[in-house]
Amino acid sequence: MIFMLGTIFLAIRNTDPLLNPIIYAEDGVWVSMALTKGWVDAFLHARPDYFVFYNILTLYISTKISIIFSGSPLLLLPQSIAFVSYSFYSLVSVLAFTTVQRISNNYFAFLIYFIILLLPFGFSQNEILGRLLQIGYYMPFITLCLYFIRENIASFRGRIALDVLILLTAATNPIVFSVIGLYFLRKISNTNDKKSFLKEHTFILSISLLLFIYIAPHMNRVGGISTAFNPDNLIELIFARSFLYPFVFTFYNRLNDLYSIILTGAYIAFCVFSYRRTNSMIVKDIIFITFSTLLVYIIATVLIRPGLTGLLTAYNGTSGDRYFMGPNIISSFLFIICLSQFWVNDKAKLLTTSLSLYIIFIYGMGLGIIFETYQTKQAGKTTLSFYDQICQSKSTNDGTLRLIKIYPQPDWSIKVPSMYVNKLECLKN
C-alpha cells in the first residue's frame, strides 16, 4: 500500500517525464547497447570501470513493460522508464520505513518514509525522478537497509537471497564494498562466537572480495567532473551539501562556512549522544555503521570528484545535486534513527517533538521547491519527444542501425537496430 502511495506521490512530484516523454543520457545509451549487442553484454560492459547492474536491470524491466503495452521496446520506453524510476525510489522509502519501524515506532517510520519521498534534489530533480541513470547513488543506503533487515531473517535461504541482493548493489556502486566491510568489522567485534559469525558471512565476503579484485584495477578516479578543484568550497561540499542539506535546503543561501561547521558539529554531537544513551546494541550498531558509511561516502565523494568544489557557488545555489543524493539520504536516515531514541524518555520528548516539528516545518515550507508539477527547473525536452526523434532518425551506411538523437542535446545520440524503428508507424507515412 505505501509502496503504491509513494510511486503515485513521486509521479505527482515530478510529472515532466510523463508529460514530455524523452530518453535521457545513459538511459538511452545503455538500452541502445542492450538492443544492439544483447542484454548480457550490457550487464557486463555498460561502463568501462565498474558494473551498473541495477541500472541495467531496471532498464531491462522498462523495455519489457514497453513491449507488453506497445509491442515495441522503444515506443513507450520513456514512460516505462519513468514508471520504473518512480517505483524504485518509492521502494527505497519503504525499505527505510521497514528498518526504522523495527527499532522504533510508526511515527518515526512514517517520518523517514516521507522525508525520503520529499528529499530535495535542487535543480537536478528532472534528471533523477523519472530517470534510471542515477539510481546507483542510493546503493550504499539500500545495502544498509538490506543488512539491517537481514538480521531478522531466520532462514538460511532468506539470508542468502539478501546476500545476493547486497552483492548486486556492490556490482552497481563500488562504495558498497566499504559498507560490507564496515558492517562485518563492527558485527564481528561485538560477537562472542566469531567463528560462527565468520562462517555465516563467508559467502558474501568471498564473493565481494573477488568482485572487488576484478573491479578495482578498472576504477576511474576523476568521476566525470572536469572542473578544477576549488579549496574555497571544500567546507561547503563536506558539511553543508553532504551532512546538512536535507535539513537546511529552504534557507541554504543564508548559510556560510562558519554556520555549516557549527550545525554539522551539533548534528554529530546529537548522533554521539544518541549512541551513548541507547541501551539497545542493535541500535548502537545501526548508528555506528550508518555514521561510518556516511563518512566513507563523503570522503569518497571528495577524493573521486574533487571537481565538485568547482561547481559550488558559495551557498548561492546548488549544482551537481545527484552527487550528493547518496550522502543526503544516509544523513536523513541517521538523524531519524538517532531522534527516535529519545522518544522513550519523557524528559527528552520535548526535544524529540521540537526537532520533529522542525523537520515537518522545513519540508512544508519547501514544498514549492520540491514539487515540480507545473514547471520543471531543468527541462529535459526542448523541442522533440522521443517518438519524434525516432521518426527523424537516420539510417547508417549499411542500413542495419538507425541513429537517434536523444537528450541532453546536442551531444547525446544512440544507435539501435533498424528493425526496431522500421516497425513504427511514423516511418510508414
Transcribe 311-333 into DSSP letters: H--TTS----GGGGHHHHHHHHH
pLDDT of amino acid 49: 87
Q: Report how far residue 173's alpha carbon sits from residue 293's, in angstroms, rounded to the nearest whole number.
A: 13
Q: Assess whether 236 and 139 both reside in one domain.
A: no
* Residue 373 domain flag: no
* Residue 224 domain flag: no
Q: Assess whether 208 and 241 both reside in one domain.
A: no
Q: Assess whether 58 and 205 both reside in one domain.
A: yes
Q: Assess whether 20 and 144 both reside in one domain.
A: yes
* 91-107 pLDDT, tens digit each: 999 999 999 999 999 99
pLDDT of amino acid 223: 57
* Span 172-197, average pLDDT: 93
Boundary of a domain, candidates 321, 341, 361: 341
Q: Report how far residue 146's alpha carbon sits from residue 95's, in angstroms, rounded to the nearest whole number.
A: 8
Q: What is the domain count for the chain?
A: 3
Q: Which amino acid is at 384?
A: L
Confirm if 319 and 236 have CB atoms less than 8 A apart: no
Q: In which residue are the cell numbers 541554504 written?
A: 252
Residue 139 has pLDDT above 60, yes or no: yes
Residue 222 has pLDDT above 60, yes or no: no
pLDDT band with cut points at 50, 70 and 90 for residue 396: confident
Q: What is the mean pLDDT of the chain?
A: 91
* Residue 364 domain flag: no
Q: In which residue are the cell numbers 542500413 written?
A: 399
Residue 429 has pLDDT above 70, yes or no: no
* Residue 406 domain flag: yes
Q: Report how far residue 127's alpha carbon sits from residue 408's, in angstroms, rounded to the nearest whole number.
A: 10
The strand pairing partners of 413, in sequence order, are 405
Q: Assess whether 33 and 173 both reside in one domain.
A: yes
Q: Report how far residue 159's alpha carbon sits from residue 166's, in angstroms, rounded to the nearest whole number.
A: 10
pLDDT of amino acid 220: 65
Confirm if 17 and 85 have CB atoms less than 8 A apart: yes
Q: Assess whether 166 and 57 both reside in one domain.
A: yes
pLDDT of amino acid 204: 95
Q: Assess whether 151 and 8 both reside in one domain.
A: yes
Q: Which amino acid is at 207?
A: I
Residue 310 has pLDDT above 80, yes or no: yes
pLDDT band with cut points at 50, 70 and 90 for residue 397: confident
Q: Assess whether 8 and 86 both reside in one domain.
A: yes
Residue 377 has pLDDT above 80, yes or no: no
Could you give the dihedral angle defined by the CA atoms of residues 56, 62, 68 and 70, in that order, rounded to the nearest 10 degrees?
A: -120
62-76, 166-180, 256-270, 313-327: range with lowest mean pLDDT: 313-327
Boundary of a domain, candidates 341, 368, 397: 341
* Residue 378 domain flag: no
Residue span of the structural domain in which 391 resides? 386-428
pLDDT of amino acid 424: 79
Q: Report how far residue 248's alpha carbon sits from residue 263's, in angstroms, rounded to the nearest whole number.
A: 10
* Residue 337 domain flag: yes
* Residue 145 domain flag: yes
36-40, 81-85, 152-156, 171-175: range with lowest mean pLDDT: 152-156
Q: Assess whether 194 and 254 both reside in one domain.
A: no
pLDDT band with cut points at 50, 70 and 90 for residue 118: very high
Q: Assess whether 177 and 48 both reside in one domain.
A: yes
Q: What is the pTM of this model?
A: 0.95
* Residue 236 domain flag: yes
Q: Assess whether 203 and 259 both reside in one domain.
A: no
* Span 408-426, average pLDDT: 86
Boundary of a domain, candidates 218, 252, 283: 218
Q: Assess whether 15 and 156 both reside in one domain.
A: yes
Instruction: Using a pLDDT cut of 70, give the percent of the chain over it.
Output: 95
pLDDT of amino acid 379: 65
pLDDT of amino acid 180: 97
